[in-house]
Amino acid sequence: RRPRLAALREQGTGLPPDRREALELRFFGDLDVRQVAAVMNRNEGAVKMLVHRGLAQLRRAMAEPGSAPGGGPAARSLRGGGS
């Protein structure tokens, strides 16, 4: 889990504010979807969408040349594979 969190923190600055907030609360704040929804004053479906789209955006960014060489371990970690 730590490589995923490190990758998220490193790459997360390019995310729209609502996606970044949802991801930070969900993973760094260790909140469940219901709790994130309450903090953000959104419904659970909206939070799930923000988290899903934020992770997809991070995966794409990390797959780009220069962000994680060769799609390196950080990118593999976000895809759920790797070390």
SS (H, E, C) the chain: CHHHHHHHHHHHHHCCHHHHHHHHHHHHCCCCHHHHHHHHCCCHHHHHHHHHHHHHHHHHHHHCCCCCHHHCHHHHHHCCCCC
Q: What is this structure's pTM? A: 0.68
CB 42 within 8 A of CB 14: no
Structure confidence by residue, pLDDT tens digits, 13-72: 688 999 999 999 998 899 999 999 999 999 999 999 999 999 999 888 878 776 644 444
User: What is the pLDDT at residue 64?
Assistant: 77
